[in-house]
Amino acid sequence: MQISLHFRLNTKNQNEFLVNFFRVKNLIFIGIAMLFFSCAEKAKTEETNTIEKTDFYKLPSFSKDSVLQAVIEIPAGTNHKIEYNPIKKKFITDSINGKARVIDFLPYLGNYGFIPSTFSDPKKGGDGDALDILVLSESVPTGTVMQVTPIALIRLIDEGESDYKILAVPTNSAQQIIQAKNFNELSVNYPEIRKVIGIWFQEYDPNDKVIIKNWGGEHAAKKEIKRWQK
């Protein structure tokens, strides 16, 4: 009887121990999970605050290593029109009649944005904005500052006015999607790309009448950047 009673007490104690052990284990797991999500949310908030405090228009056109920089407004593969507002220092989705502007055509072929510290002066034939750039690469988030190599200049006529755009590729090999480091390699290795890009700019917005005037190589692109650099 004593042995049996002792065994039952030990079994009971063991069961209680196991129950308490798993309770504590679950509480520790929940605590770690809450801490993880709290840190992740804090990091996300800090990243958002950093983006909102950054004046992307005034970033240098070139990095310390003299590499051209591009601020991405619209990620490749999206059809939402996003623009940087230099007054509010925010990236804002463009709207028409109170509704988000969505491109009713193929999505953006590359990461689209502008070259910081440039200004296309209307008094000198510019459009009054920073110089536009299209980066052929893996898609990156809005607000990304990419280091790129300019390989071409696209000369457009938009509603009767000159609208020039820089075509570039990323210097980061992990982001590259084509093997072209200059205009000649682009033309030889991918002879149809210029035609595809031209058609896209002509057709993506039915409200704009866009004409492809001509193309220039990397030297023309660099000259255009220098022309509008502040």
How confident is the model at residue 43, as a pLDDT?
43
Better pLDDT: 37 or 30: 30
The amino acid at residue 50 is: T
Q: Left if phi > 0, otherwise alpha if psi is -120 to 50, otherwise beta: which for 179? A: beta
pLDDT score of 53 more than 70: yes
Please give the Cα distance from 121 to 35 (Å, whole number): 50
pLDDT higher than 80, residue 180: yes
Q: Which residues contact 228 (CB under 8 A, 6 or more apart)?
A: 118, 119, 120, 121, 126, 130, 131
Q: Please give the pLDDT value at position 160.
A: 86
- Is residue 40 within 8 Å of 80, Cβ to Cβ? no
- Dist. CA 72–CA 145, nearest whole Å: 6
What's the average model confidence in pLDDT over 66-90?
A: 96
**Res 139: pLDDT:** 98
> pLDDT digits over 90-125, tens only?
999 998 888 888 999 999 999 999 999 999 998 888
Confidence of residue 145 (pLDDT cuts 50, 70, 90): very high
If you average pLDDT over every residue of the chain, what do you get?
A: 86
pTM for the predicted model, two decimal places: 0.78
